[in-house]
Structure 1
Amino acid sequence: MKVQVLNLDGTAGTGEVDLSDDVFGLAPRADILHRVITWQLENRRGIARATRERSDVARTGKKFGRQKGGGTARHGDRAAPVFIGGGKAHGARRREFDVSLNKKVRALGLKMALSSKAQGGLVVVDSLDVEGKTKALVATLAKANWGKKVLVIDGEAVNDNFARAARNIVGLNVLPAVGANVYDILKHDTLVLTRAAVEKLEARFNG
């Protein structure tokens, strides 16, 4: 699949890039994409620390008062929730969200996400060389008209000037190729790849 290389302002650049059909030419399947996104979001969730309930508190179980005649309630356990230092009644339980997913399915999901953007919403640029000024980058991207939410993926590392200029632009996110993931790709209107990003992504699956 050949794609015209563009400049950051949307104008035609020099040459074309040949995208691998094994990575950018698959037919997307909603079930695979759903599984990968669910796995990704579940693993983002943090694990809350469980509170100690009555059976978890290290306190004596000896009855500490007479059954009758003491003028107090007939308690039998210091770990009861009514006492200071006792266990929590109906406390929070530990919940783990460590969902497993086969590595091949994860790789297939990323290929399908890239393929879905290749069908509409994929832009390939030569490089991300800019001045490093946010105002200038905003004006450049306004000419391109790539939508409100744009994800830019560079090669080994993101261009420093571009990352600095894009830092405060709402709706513009930047990632290195190693950080490419299904959720971020699909939630943006346009996916912008550099030539280096294309090489890295194809090598990621071929290697």
Structure 2
Amino acid sequence: MAVVDVFNTNGETVSQMELPDEIFNVSVKPSVLHAVVTMQLASRRSGTASVKRRGDVKGSTRKLFRQKGTGRARRGDIKSPLLRGGGVAFGPSPRSYAYKVPKKVRRLALKMALSSKLQENELVVLDRMELEGIKTKAFARVMDTLDRRNTLLIIGEKDEKIELSSRNLPDIKVLRSEGLNVYDILKYKNIVLLEPAVKAIEGRLSA
């Protein structure tokens, strides 16, 4: 098992923790990470693009002129896609871009993402973070003390003081352990894990 230092909010080492190899020491395969990140981004697409088709356009269904004898091309009603203001023939309609990759692949990718951060020395374990109130300045001071910017902070459970204090910091994101995902891990340069969150992640990925 990998042994990492556990820091307090003053940046001091207070203890050490063992991280299980089956989660934090997995060989990284970019193809697996790519498959899961692509799935996440596809699921986030809105898919709301839409057009009005011939039946959706408001207008009369009267035939504009007779079929034969005018010398002109035959024409139906004014809602024809060939006419200005008519319906669209092959435009987009609302759809879902979401798809799934196997659960085992998603869990493996999560382990790989965490392992990559540990291997690159971009993962820090914090014993706890207790704020007196909802203060962005106090939260930013802790991040500055740890010298960690562009950081994803993983907490074990709901903590409104931490979550609300971090909202105005553009390069910091706070995520609960149950919402941990591959895209956010790879998006941010540093990962800060609260000690309770490590236990929650172990329980989630070791089952």
TM > 0.5 fold call: yes
Q: 1:137 aligns with which of 139, 144, 147?
A: 139
Q: How big is the shift at 1:73?
A: 7.5
TM-score computed with the length of structure 2 as normaliser: 0.84
Q: How big is the shift at 1:64?
A: 5.4
Q: How does 1:1-207 map to 2 (within 5 A)?
A: 1-13=2-14, 15-54=15-54, 63=63, 65-67=65-67, 74-81=74-81, 82=83, 86-94=86-94, 96-119=96-119, 120-132=121-133, 133-146=135-148, 148-157=149-158, 159-207=159-207
**Could you say what secondary structure the match of 1:43 adopts?**
helix
Distance 1:59 1:137 in 2: 60
Distance 1:105 1:175 in 2: 22
- Across the aligned residues of Structure 1 and Structure 2, the Cα RMSD in angstroms comes to 2.8
Q: How big is the shift at 1:66?
A: 2.5
**Could you say what secondary structure the match of 2:44 adopts?**
coil
Distance 2:87 2:168 in 1: 47
Alpha carbons of structure 1 residues 56 and 169: separation in structure 2 relative to 1, 3 Å: closer
In structure 2, the gaps of 5 or more residues are none
Distance 1:140 1:63 in 2: 73
Q: How big is the shift at 1:36?
A: 0.9
TM-score computed with the length of structure 1 as normaliser: 0.84
User: Which AA in structure 2 matches 1:134?
Assistant: T
**Could you say what secondary structure the match of 2:165 adopts?**
helix
Distance 1:36 1:127 in 2: 30
Whether the aligned pair in 2 keeps the contact of 1:9 and 1:142 (CA below 8 Å) is: no
**Structure 1 stretch 44-53 or stretch 65-74: which is displaced more?**
65-74
**Structure 1 stretch 196-205 or stretch 55-64: which is displaced more?**
55-64
Identity of aligned residues (%): 39
**Could you say what secondary structure the match of 1:191 adopts?**
strand
Q: How big is the shift at 1:67?
A: 3.8
**Could you say what secondary structure the match of 1:118 adopts?**
helix
Equivalenced residues, count: 203
